[in-house]
Structure 1
Amino acid sequence: MTGTAALSISEVALENEQLRLALQAAQVGTWDYNMETGQAEWSVICKRLFGLPEDASVTPAVLLEQVHPDDRERVAHANARVLSPQSDGDHNVIFRTLREGSAPRWVQAKGKTILNDEGRILRFNGVVIDVTELKQAQEALQQSAEVLEQRVAERTQELKEANLQLKKSNENLAEFAYIASHDLQEPLRKIQSFGDILRDQYESQLGEGIMYLERMQSAARRMSTLIKDLLTFSRLSTRQENTTTVSLTDILSHVLHDLELAIQETGAEVTVESLPSVKGDASQLAQLFQNLVSNAIKFGHPGTKPVIEIRTERITATDLPLTIRPVRAVAAYQRIDVSDNGIGFDEKYIERIFQVFQRLHGTSKYAGTGIGLAICEKVVVNHGGSITARSQPGKGTTFSVYLPL
């Protein structure tokens, strides 16, 4: 029996020694305060964390004096709270301690009260941990967050100012568009009117000069068309002006009615599948399909009846071609294909055809200003979609419009 008791005591002593070494290695201080006797035990590391010598006589008042003045009231309140009868017995507070000759250290004190059967506090013990590096890291992170927040605020302000400048620029552009549509058209109308008078009244006297008059009239007409196209392009806002549910079938019906004369003159055959309704701006979508269909009629083979097919298909985002990057990413899209049997073009020019003033054919053979497809792309982008084309020289073209659903 004696041997067994001696072995048990040895095991306890060994465990205590292992615990002491572990606490020492981790630089964790401990305290134990006997509320009945008033005696307190503070480990060497605990004293060191409070800036006290190892042989210092320690009381709660002495330790409180070692707390940084800015934290002292908060620590005293935490101590009083945990020792009050209403306390849950848990103690956890972070504060700074004073150390002579060096900067204050941040420590965390965590403790627990032990009660007797009557609920009176017998002991109050716990540990003290140096958390200076953790606090410094937190402060550095906070400073970085504040710097980042400041930069975000500055950038936001810059964007607001840029938006204001852009708004002003757009207003100036709208004003210019009005001037272009009115003031620039007026002299062109006079040139055309006086040219008509010259031709009608003095054609016999002009002789070969009639050729120059016709060229002048043709140039004036092209300039008038160019101004009108520029006006249309500039008036397209960066979004839909009147977003409603639009029937594409109705849109195409109106477009074909407007192009009736060109269809009759060329004998064009236009086939339109039943098209869905989409959210968008009806006037802009009408401009889009009018440009695409009129292009298909205009760029037909000479002497060959234009054949135009308009088809549609609902596709998912995963079915989009790799080259398609819609403005607005959604789960599904409506693809509308406008195909023709016209002269086509080399696909190496695919990016060029959607740029303003870019033409693949001379004005002497195919009329136009080089703005029509740029308008198409702008309309599609305004609706959050994308447009592309597939073509081969002499084998027709298919324009594919992707509108988000």
Structure 2
Amino acid sequence: MNITAAPRPDYSGLTTEEMEIGLQVAKVGLGRTDYAAQTVRLDPLAAEIFGLPAGEDIPRDVFHERIHPDDRTEFAVAIEHLLSPHGSDVVDLTLRTFDQDGKLRWVNARKRVFYGPEDNRSAPVSAILAVVDVTSRQLAELHSEVLIGELNHRTKNLITVVASIARQLRRHSTPEDFPDRFIDRLQALARNQEATARETPHGFDLKEIISQQITPFDGKGRARLDLHGPRVEMSSQSAHVLAMMCHELLTNAAKYGALSGDGRISITWRIEGDDLRLEWIESGGPPVSQPERTGYGTQVVTVLGAASFGADIKLDYPPEGFRLSLVAPLEAFAPESSVVP
């Protein structure tokens, strides 16, 4: 709320018609308050903004009912100050209103009060109201605030993920291997950020998230990876987790599995009732066997996947190739906006 004494503009040289055109161009609606009759009269544009009839005397209390309930206290305080003996004669407010269909609008309203010949501030006579619909501007500002909040949230999450990667790699790497392995994970995370930056109103696409992680393995035979499954919309958080899991699985395949030889990887998923079932099957590579110890990659795939999705994850190591089976509630992947409480 801004209550100020406005300088008087000089309209000399402009005709009445030119000033009216100027108001139309600026989309300024006008109204007049009659304090003796306790009525408000609006021009067509102001009447459209408030959803009230134009050119008719409207009771002030009916006019004030158009103001959003949460903004009425601020409005009442501003008007009280405006009409007080020591208050300013001009008020400038941005508040929410409803039109006749209940549609919410943001309106910037400026009002100037006029008194009797003796300027007795205890007896206001009339006021001129100028209103501008600023809904688009307010929505843009709200959208910006949401984006900034989301950016802060994701940045904090990203820092947490990086710290976790560093701690886990330190436990499972030699000092000599740590820098390269850490950079490799950060690059995977960067690819994940790039994929999730293209979020749509429907969230992220599971296939796109997996495809993005395949990119660094072009030289390992990208054409030997087959992806099949329906569109599955994912939240930002679930997309990050799935991308990290895929990167670890692909890294393992390039080192020890199908991508280290002439093999293939089949990645399929399907919806079964309320669950998502995803299967990762490697074939045609060198013989595989159960690893002797659990490394960082296995922990990412099993522990993080189970905790994030509530998933049942099974790892199998038949000689013909590594296999993974993941079954999780479909709602664990869903974008936040599509989850019904």
Q: TM-score, normalised by structure 1?
A: 0.35
Give the helix-richer structure, 1 or 2: 1
Q: TM-score, normalised by structure 2?
A: 0.41
Higher-Rg structure is 1
